[in-house]
Structure 1
Amino acid sequence: MRIGLLGTGPWAGMVHAPVLASHDGLDFAGVWGRRPEAAKELADRHGTRPYDDVDALLADVDAVAVALPPDVQAELAVRAAGAGCHLLLDKPVATRPAAARAVVRAAEEAGVASVVFFTTRFLSETGDWIAEQARTGGWFTAHAQWLGSVFAEENGSPFATPWRREKGALWDVGPHALSVLLPVLGDVRRVTAAAAGPGDTVHLVLDHTGGASSTVTLSLTAPPQASGAGIEVYGASGVTRLPQPTGSAADALTRAADELCAAARDGSPHPCDAAFGLRVTEILADAEALLGDGVGATP
């Protein structure tokens, strides 16, 4: 499968480009970015071609991997699907439900496969745990927390990007929590409550279709010593915790690329396809509406 990369930021350079270049089932055909000089630098580093024209790249490939801010991603994903390209998307698909719906509609009309890269779903230990809990069922409640320190002054994270500063933890790490909770507890019927905490911290209460409830705490402004992610679920079979993975983001993206290739071959929808990404966007938009003005990271 000939694949192109859209995006040249930290995630593209650290994870996407190395994985696409080394993947046995992919031909890494080129890079496009909003800054041509960055696209050339990244392409040269991985022995591929930089593109100044995104439509020229789309015409030359079978699939695209996207590492761009969500609402930029959504617009380009529609164009890519229209050009017949399979989609390896980042989370969230978009921050507006209408934009995410446009991606789903474009993929369906073009008959292309889509996979949204929710990292936790594609790591072997955590992916297996999610599947096991979904089979077990009978869950009563759960608590999830995704605490990052991206905006801590002493951190200097390359991921302290403008879109994360504007949209905060709700949109950056909220998709990770939902990608685990939804397959285990069922879809969200209603965001029962949403409250702001310090910095960009938000607390959510979710009512799930399976009858369970969950609470979620999200932050990108936690102290570095307090950062970390975890989920506990409680039910008839006891208490179980999401295991700490040993794999890397590159391992997860490699598996996501494998599964995109498989979905493109057999034509069956992937559990983490654009339609699932749309549902995550809808839930987060409901939470954002309850928060009122929204909660971004520190100025």
Structure 2
Amino acid sequence: MRIGLLGTGPWAEMAHAPALHEHAELEFVGVWGRRTEAAKQLADRFGTRAYDDVDALFADVDAVAVALPPAVQAELAVRAARAGCHLLLDKPLATTVGQGQAVVDAVQEAGVASVVFFTSRFLPETEAWITEQAAVGGWFTAHAQWLGSLFGGDSDSPFANSPWRREKGALWDVGPHALSVLLPVLGDARRVVAAAPGPGDTVHLVLDHAGGASSTLTLSLSAPTAASCAAAELRGEAGVSVLPQSAEGPVAALGHAADALLAAARTGRPHACDAAFGQRVTEILVEAQALLDGAAD
């Protein structure tokens, strides 16, 4: 599969470009970015071509991987799908329901494959755990904590100055990760029961799930580094089950996501983390954001 990369920021540089370059079944054709010089530098580093015209890149590839802010991603994903490109997207799919639905519609109309990269869903240990717990059933409640330290005083993260993360906060950055773990185990969220702010950009959510369980989520990018974690705990008829940690990093996980895109393109069978699932996550985040905004008025 011939694939191009949209984006030149830290995530594109440290995760996407290495994953595409190393994958045995992908031909890394080129890079397009909103900053021409950055696209050239990234392309030179990985021995590929920098494109000035994104439509020219679409014409030269079978698929695109996207490492851009969600609002920019949604617009370009629609254009790429209409050009016949399969889509390896990042979370969140979009920041409005309308943007996300436009991507879903474009994917369906063009008949292309789509995969949204929720990191935990493409780590073998965590994906196996999710599958096992979904099969067990009988869960009563769950608690997920995704605590990052991007905005902590001791942070040296290259993502700390990301404008969209500064604007949208933890709900939109790490919230999708937590939802990607809980929804396949507990069922869809029938509603967001409550959403409350905490320190910094911290958000606390309570969800009511279709399977009958409730869950609580604590999300933050403002935690001290020593408090950072990505954790989930289930409690139910089978007892207690805790999300395992993985030894693999984002490059390997993106490689697995590329495998999923290849399989979906070859078979025509949608992956569980396709654009439609990404859109459902967006809808839940929009509902939670509305409750937060209402509480602040």
TM-score, normalising length: structure 2: 0.98
Instruction: Report the AA paired with residue 90 of structure 2.
Output: D
CA contact (8 A) 2:154 2:224 kept: no
- Report the 3-state secondary structure (helix = DSSP H, G, I; strand = E; otherwise coil) of the residue aligned with 1:292: helix
Distance 2:211 2:185 in 1: 9
Please say which of residues 148-157 and 23-32 is displaced more in the overlay: 148-157
Q: Which residue of structure 2 aligns with residue 23 of structure 1? A: 23
Distance 1:71 1:110 in 2: 21
CA contact (8 A) 2:91 2:176 kept: yes
Q: Which residue of structure 2 aligns with residue 105 of structure 1? A: 105
Deviation at 1:139, TM superposition (A): 0.5
Q: Which residue of structure 2 aligns with residue 264 of structure 1? A: 265
CA contact (8 A) 1:3 1:61 kept: yes
For 1:111-126, what aligned pairs fall within 5 Å after superposition? 111-126=111-126
Instruction: Report the AA paired with residue 100 of structure 2.
Output: A
Distance 1:257 1:278 in 2: 20
CA contact (8 A) 1:113 1:269 kept: yes
Distance 1:133 1:140 in 2: 12
Distance 2:294 2:8 in 1: 31
Distance 1:143 1:133 in 2: 14
- Report the 3-state secondary structure (helix = DSSP H, G, I; strand = E; otherwise coil) of the residue aligned with 2:208: strand
Deviations 1:152-174 (A, max 9, x none): 23212101101000000000000
Deviation at 1:231, TM superposition (A): 0.3
Q: Which residue of structure 2 aligns with residue 136 of structure 1? A: 136
For 1:228-239, what aligned pairs fall within 5 Å after superposition? 228-239=229-240
Distance 1:293 1:30 in 2: 44
Q: Which residue of structure 1 aligns with residue 82 of structure 2? A: 82
Q: Which residue of structure 2 aligns with residue 254 of structure 1? A: 255
For 1:1-299, what aligned pairs fall within 5 Å after superposition? 1-160=1-160, 161-292=162-293
Distance 1:122 1:294 in 2: 35
Please say which of residues 243-252 and 102-111 is displaced more in the overlay: 243-252
- Report the 3-state secondary structure (helix = DSSP H, G, I; strand = E; otherwise coil) of the residue aligned with 2:193: strand
Percent of aligned positions that are identical = 73
Distance 1:137 1:284 in 2: 25
Count of residue pairs brought into register by the alignment? 295
CA contact (8 A) 1:148 1:224 kept: yes
Distance 2:253 2:135 in 1: 22
Deviation at 1:293, TM superposition (A): 6.6
Deviation at 1:100, TM superposition (A): 0.3
Distance 1:25 1:185 in 2: 34
Tell me, which stretches of 5 or more residues in structure 1 are unaligned?
none
Distance 2:271 2:259 in 1: 12
Q: Which runs of 4+ in 1 moved over 2 A?
A: none
CA contact (8 A) 2:2 2:62 kept: yes
CA contact (8 A) 1:288 1:294 kept: no
Instruction: Report the AA paired with residue 78 of structure 2.
Output: V
